[in-house]
Structure 1
Amino acid sequence: MAGIVVIFDFDKTIIDCDSDNWVVDELGFTELFNQLLPTMPWNFLMDKMMKEINARGTTIDDIVEVLKRTPIHPRIVPAIKSAHALGCELRVVSDANMFFIEKILEHLGLRQCFSEINTNPSVVDEDDKLRIFPHHDFTKSSHGCSLCPPNMCKGMVVERIQASFEGKKKNIIYLGDGSGDYCPALKLGEADYMMPRKNFPVWDLICSNPMLIKAGIHEWSDGEELEKVLLQIINTVAVEGDGDKSSQLISSVDCKLQTISASTTALPQAMPVPQ
């Protein structure tokens, strides 16, 4: 649906782990990582780890093979493909890095579903070594947001996405789990939807004062709930639209919902907001 923009966090939202930790742990560098963690910012640490991994003989192909084994709930891929097939515009806003995200999405057959990936840049250099850099170069200036880590304010990314609509009516659906997803939740409007992962940091932050969030709040716990909630919201937006295209979309979403919910529990309701 052209009027819906679905924004996904990546780690612990699309995949069921932190991709940085997954690669480090699977390649056997957890001890070194933990030693260095207190000494430098996260992005610099990951860049340092990639240098150490390369120096000890691990290749880019080895890293890719590890990324192909990244754990993911079996309903996430169908959920993303369904939202894309229904005409939603899909984007990623993540504090992971471009190489990890693209390789995982390519392996899952999902890369073409996303029109944009906003994350920390990365590049494979002439020595076949992965370099990782911060999305925002905080060594030169601050992005000025006290809620977000110094290398990336997701709220600023969402504001840029909103500005790109150029007056067109769009509904944003934002899915995330971490504390870095709280700032963008605050940027959403009344016509938008926030999907926090229940009992994760962003959920706790929202629960501390739900009145600060203007968007409709619909929680999810795992990939199965994510799929049901996401398709239900798309259906809701379609119902509020008009014309033949909306009717066709409603029919398509209803068919998908019937397929995935025949033997499952009821759809979680929106979070109640205190009066």
Structure 2
Amino acid sequence: MAGIVVVFDFDKTIIECDSDNWVVDELGATDLFNQLLPTMPWNSLMDRMMKELHSQGKTIEDIVEVLKRTPIHPRVVPAIKAAHALGCDLKIVSDANLFFIETILKHLGLEEFFSEINTNPSYVDEQGRLRISPHHDFIKCSHGCSLCPPNMCKGVVIEERIQTSLSSEGKKKLIYLGDGSGDYCPSLKLKEGDFVMPRKNFPLFDLICKDPLLIKADIHEWTDGEELEHILLNLINTIAMEENAQFISAADCKLQTMSAHEALPQALPVRQ
């Protein structure tokens, strides 16, 4: 199973909501957020919202308590733990931010199950304010992808980071789970033999349905955490059985070759 890498989006995939909206709404800043939304990129807006919330007296502890209440389907945590127990390498590629993701994973007891989190950096500054930065510094240069927001192209992460590591480590299969339009670009980067799991009736699923032939990976849609668990673990077990069958077939071939050599008549000694 060491050959399988499972890549999860975070918002509306691992958790049941958008973590940015959840924090803004729960801390009573929805109106301001909506007012500022047309004026700046989403990622920059979230950094601005953290400044506004801080100025209103909201603390990091307040944000943490809100994040601990983030809704999640009860079967998602067991699914992640089972995939890890089966030997899969689990990663996250998300347009949320590191503080939100790590806080939620720690609360759920899941932080140790992921080998890598690719997302927008964040930190708490000297004033106790959460700062959120773009994954890609679009002020200096563009990532060049018209499908993705300026701060992050998940396709670049899949292609340049994860698929490159797959090749160097000899890993073979990639399973990608997502829901949003930002998950479409990385889905296009998947190869034959990979799998994409779009959440049904969400933007990624709708985009794939417009022209499924553009996707090289096998497509397996899901609707909720229960289906996520069932389909993901079935895929992992199916891949494992195929790999075992190939291993057994190769071993049988080797044994047959050895038997054939043993059946050859002994060479006669050459008279001197």
Normalised by the length of structure 2, the TM-score is 0.88
> Residue 130 of structure 2 aligns to which amino acid in structure 1?
L
Which residue identity lines up with residue 211 of structure 1 in the other structure? L
Query: Are residues 167 and 62 of structure 1, via their aligned partners in 2, closer, same or farther at CA, if it must alter by over 3 Å?
Result: closer
**SS of the residue aligned with 1:31?**
helix
Deviation at 1:170, TM superposition (A): 1.7
Contact 2:192–2:216 (8 Å) recurs in 1:
yes
**Pairing 1:2–2:9 present:** no
How far residue 167 of structure 1 moved from its aligned partner, in angstroms, is: 6.1
State how far apart, in whole Å, the 2-side matches of 1:78 and 1:164 are: 27
Q: Which residue of 1 aligns with 2:198?
A: 196
Aligned to 1:164, what secondary structure does the other structure show? helix
What's the CA shift for 1:168?
1.0
Structure 1 residue aligned with 2:131? 131
Match of 2:209 in 1: 207
Corresponding position of 1:154:
154
Taking a change above 3 Å as real, the CA distance of residues 167 and 106 of structure 1, as seen in their structure-2 partners, is: closer
1:42 aligns with 2:66: no
**Which residue of 223, 242, 256 corresponds with 2:244?**
242
Q: Supply the distance in 1 between the matched residues of 2:226 and 2:173 (Cα, whole angstroms).
A: 23
The alpha-carbon deviation at position 239 of structure 1 amounts to: 1.1
Give the number of aligned pairs: 246
The CA RMSD measured in Å over matched residues stands at: 1.4
Once the two structures are superposed, the pairs formed by residues 58-77 of structure 1 within 5 Å of their partners are 58-77=58-77
Q: Among 217, 221, 233, which residue is 2:219 paired with?
A: 217
- In the alignment, is residue 172 of structure 1 matched against residue 197 of structure 2? no
Cα separation, 2, equivalents of 1:39 and 1:217: 37
Whole-Å Cα distance in 1 between the matches of residues 121 and 113 of structure 2?
20
Q: Give the letter for the 1:66 counterpart.
A: V
Distance between the aligned counterparts of 2:226 and 2:214, measured in 1?
A: 28
Q: How does 1:69-148 map to 2 (within 5 A)?
A: 69-148=69-148
Q: Work out whether 1:28 is the aligned partner of 2:32.
A: no
Match of 1:228 among 227, 230, 233: 230
Q: Is the CA contact 2:135–2:151 (under 8 Å) kept in the aligned structure 1? A: yes
Q: CA deviation at 1:169?
A: 3.5
TM-superposed deviation, 1:65: 0.2
Any stretches of 5+ residues in structure 2 without a counterpart?
Answer: 249-272
Note the C-alpha offset of 1:43.
1.1
Task: Check conservation: 2:2, 2:171, Cα contact below 8 A.
Answer: no
What secondary structure does 2:174 align onto? strand
- Whichever residue aligns with residue 165 of structure 2, its letter is S
What is the identity, as a one-letter code, of the residue corresponding to 2:56? Answer: R
Distance in 2 (CA, whole Å) between partners of 1:105 and 1:44 is 24
Q: Post-superposition, which runs of at least 4 consecutive aligned residues in structure 1 deviate over 3 A? A: none
1:258 match: none
The structural deviation recorded for 1:227 is 0.2
Q: Counterparts of 1:50 and 1:167 in 2: how far apart (Å)?
A: 39
* Separation (CA, whole Å) in 2 of partners of 1:26 and 1:88: 35
- Per the alignment, residue 14 of structure 2 pairs with 14
SS at structure 1 position matched to 2:244: coil
- The alpha carbon displacement at 1:242 in A equals 1.8
Candidates 178, 182, 185, aligned match of 2:184 = 182
Distance 1:237 1:112 in 2: 24
User: 1:4, CA displacement in angstroms?
Assistant: 0.4
Structure-2 residue corresponding to 1:255: none
Does 2:57 correspond to 1:51?
Answer: no
Q: Per-residue deviation at 1:130?
A: 0.1
TM-score (norm 1): 0.87
Structure 1 unaligned residues grouped into runs of 5+: 247-275
Q: Distance in 2 between matches of 1:228 and 1:219?
A: 11
